[in-house]
Amino acid sequence: MTKAEKIAFTISTLQELYPEIPVPLDHKDPYTLLIAVLMSAQSTDVRVNKITPLLFAKADNPYDMIKLSVEEIREIIKPVGLSPMKAKGIHGLSHILIDKHNGKVPKELEYLEELPAVGHKTASVVVSQAFGIPAFPVDTHIHRLLYRWGFTNGKNVVQTEKDAKRLFPKEIWNDLHLQIIWYGREYSPARGWDMDKDIITKTIGRKTVLNDYYKNKKAR
């Protein structure tokens, strides 16, 4: 297969598997999405989705959030991990949204990245999922799969994002990054990986990945 054929196969397979793409984190507006994505760092979406209703029942907008203390926020979100840093970030960014953005979440990446505890990936998720602006957030699933498929050298997420944006059409970035996330969880996980179920990697995966997989399988 040529690189173009591999890209076309990947896109068509993902579209067939995921014609409708659910957003992994429960939210109702850009603010609740921003908070949920911030909380998901080094945690799972399932865990975050269990905790955000508890937090949003008390504060689902920046004006109510700043009425809570950092410690109160921390106690609520403690199960998701890294709660001291995340609580400070949530409280701090809520103040900034009120002071600088009239209580609204900005659409611009540069303004989002200025907020406490909001990095490039979090900002990219918000602009793509809340505002429909083309972005290609790279999480561990996307980083792992694009390396397995031979679309990136896998050195870091910054390079992976650049490679993804270069290879895939801009108009499908927002859908594609979610499709890859779901595919990674269901068919190509980091642990318990079964190549027979992972049709994309089995068909187009880089040779070193395939060889390592079968060597390890024989060793078991």
The one catalytic residue in 6, 86, 121, 163 is 121
User: In terms of C-beta density within 10 A (0-12 exposed, 13-18 middle, 19 or more buried), how is residue 110 classed?
Assistant: exposed
**Catalytic annotation on 207?**
no
What is the dihedral angle through the alpha carbons of 130, 131, 132, 133, rounded to the nearest 10 degrees? Answer: -120
For the question of residue 60 being annotated catalytic, the response is no
CA 183 to each of CA 21, 45, 66, 91: distance values in angstroms, whole numbers, following the listed order? 11, 15, 38, 34
In the set 99, 104, 107, 139, the catalytic residue is 139
> How many other C-beta atoms lie within 10 A of the C-beta of residue 154?
17
Active-site residue list:
121, 139
